[in-house]
Structure 1
């Protein structure tokens, strides 16, 4: 998995940027090249030896011409100026590196020693490699990336379809007051798995730059829908009444370690010391956040007022228009839409 620290660096060299245009031209010309990105050359004078100072504004054409020389090219970190060229790098030779070529060994050690972004182009293999601190990443062929991304889109959208089916089954059981804790934990587990899969593919989508705008839109659409579903289920079924910030913390905590098993999810929801058997035996009742979102689309603050008044979906399901209108933020129109929305959902499910 690509380190999160590398994401901004991958964005810097994505297709559509001026820097990437220069890199592609250098690759096509079969030049080898080495670039170091830093603002203060004097602070690294022990590593940077020889070469000559340029101090010119950046352009792809200038970078291409300078790449014809053997030494490293120094650019500022915002890629607006070319500071020096034909520089020899002399990093600490005791620093570890798995590279074999002299250019790549110098690049990796320089990145480790300075903590700066370093980039190489292999003349023979025509591969662009990024180094940043202790991280390394090779850019992929754009066609290979697009194929991989669309394969992931197919997988994610299929998983999302299954997640929607589980949510629909839970909704049916909610009106029958027959939801088991295991149903909720399994749905959250599957939702977290989708979010983790999206996080894994994100660096490769970023790497496609302007070429990947369409698949990026499809993946972001799935991400927003799954994230919204997870938030509402946690707010509905958490034992404590979680704030939005606390909900985000739960999702983040579950996503940091895989697999997000049902027992751990139950613990994050506030159920302590539960066993696998308990998950099947414990009946749970939602507060009603998802219902209010679906039938009335009211603001969250107003939904909070409704939940505070009726406590859970069971009570809310039996509330009439007059009772709803006693809640701050609920007028006659909203009260009517809630009552009619609940009735419509009951009719569709065949239960009253």
Structure 2
């Protein structure tokens, strides 16, 4: 089940490696239960909070652990800098809906709904941390099991990425042969969208691993960077007309909402007229050369734009000689030679492989 974006900052607060999580783990190990409410101003909720005593002291994991020995709720400020009160009884509106069964969890969910604040509980029997924020609920997983599940999912993502790389090699070969069909472009973008959406779905769970998930983050970031770059370059290369950077960002966001394998809508977002999917096989397209230039030469973006504006597409760029390239603003002899050599290397690698 997808995690609400509103819960992400709250998950970060209790992720492994934080001082708050250290206290929560100690409470679980001691087999205590806990009910913790995050408020900056107790007076705003005084009609819900009953009894207890005001503390107003600086936060530390050790203090929170000791206070968890009492039955009532503990009140922390929302930045987890101070412990405001302890042994407080919560009296939220009993008519508010809740699917919880235990008294502590029912009070926590209703408190979160009524106050629109962050509340968490620790189950003494099940040793589980549950987060409530507004109408959202999320139960934290056991860290080792969570890492194992995420690793399995990342393995799936990496296999998808390997298949995507193979398709990229095929389309790069066809680009040099001037044989690219629009359906190949929409198919590549469709695969990219699937990977991007999958990465977004597992991001909150990776955040939940905190400092324990550093290697997972590195693996994900590697895939994310490659796929994000590929999508940007495909949009720039194959849009019917040139798009500004802001327009490209908007197009990518719209692409993420398209249903899988809806090639017609992908083509429309690239600026092509609405048409049947079968027709996409008959539409020949040429890349402008953005992706190739990014792969083979360290050229500033502004200079890349100048090169594309001068030669219009990859076919004409691949036929350019050094004299033609030197006419482009920002291209000197070294960059001209680098482009020519790079094109020849890629042509040999792709066409004659």
Alignment CA distance shift 1:39-1:258 (3 Å): farther
For residue 348 of structure 1, report the CA deviation from its aligned partner: 2.1
**Contact kept in structure 2, 1:192 and 1:260, CA below 8 Å:** no
Q: Which residue of 2 aligns with 1:310?
A: 311
| 1:1-352 mapped onto 2 (5 Å cutoff) | 1-259=2-260, 261-350=262-351
For residue 260 of structure 1, report the CA deviation from its aligned partner: 5.7
For residue 108 of structure 1, report the CA deviation from its aligned partner: 0.8
User: In the aligned structure 1, how far is the partner of 2:56 from the partner of 2:259?
Assistant: 48
**Contact kept in structure 2, 1:288 and 1:312, CA below 8 Å:** yes
Structure 1 SS opposite 2:281: helix
Per-residue CA deviations over 1:96-147 (Å, capped at 9, x if unaligned) read: 1111111111111111111111100111111100011111100001111111
User: In the aligned structure 2, how far is the partner of 1:183 from the partner of 1:326?
Assistant: 33
For residue 257 of structure 1, report the CA deviation from its aligned partner: 4.7
Q: TM-score, normalised by structure 2?
A: 0.97
| Farther off after superposition, 134-143 or 85-94 | 85-94
Q: TM-score, normalised by structure 1?
A: 0.97
Structure 2 SS opposite 1:143: helix
User: In the aligned structure 2, how far is the partner of 1:254 from the partner of 1:136?
Assistant: 29
Per-residue CA deviations over 1:171-225 (Å, capped at 9, x if unaligned) read: 0001111111111101111011111111111111111111110111111111111
Structure 1 SS opposite 2:187: helix
* Stretches of structure 1 lacking an aligned partner (at least 5 in a row): none
User: In the aligned structure 2, how far is the partner of 1:257 from the partner of 1:28?
Assistant: 46
**Contact kept in structure 2, 1:254 and 1:260, CA below 8 Å:** no
Structure 2 SS opposite 1:281: coil
Per-residue CA deviations over 1:280-338 (Å, capped at 9, x if unaligned) read: 11111111001111221211111111111111111111111111111111111101111
**Contact kept in structure 2, 1:239 and 1:269, CA below 8 Å:** yes
For residue 32 of structure 1, report the CA deviation from its aligned partner: 1.2
Aligned length: 351
- Deviating above 3 A after TM superposition, structure 1's stretches of 4 or more consecutive aligned residues are none
| Farther off after superposition, 250-259 or 35-44 | 250-259
* Stretches of structure 2 lacking an aligned partner (at least 5 in a row): none
Structure 2 SS opposite 1:96: coil
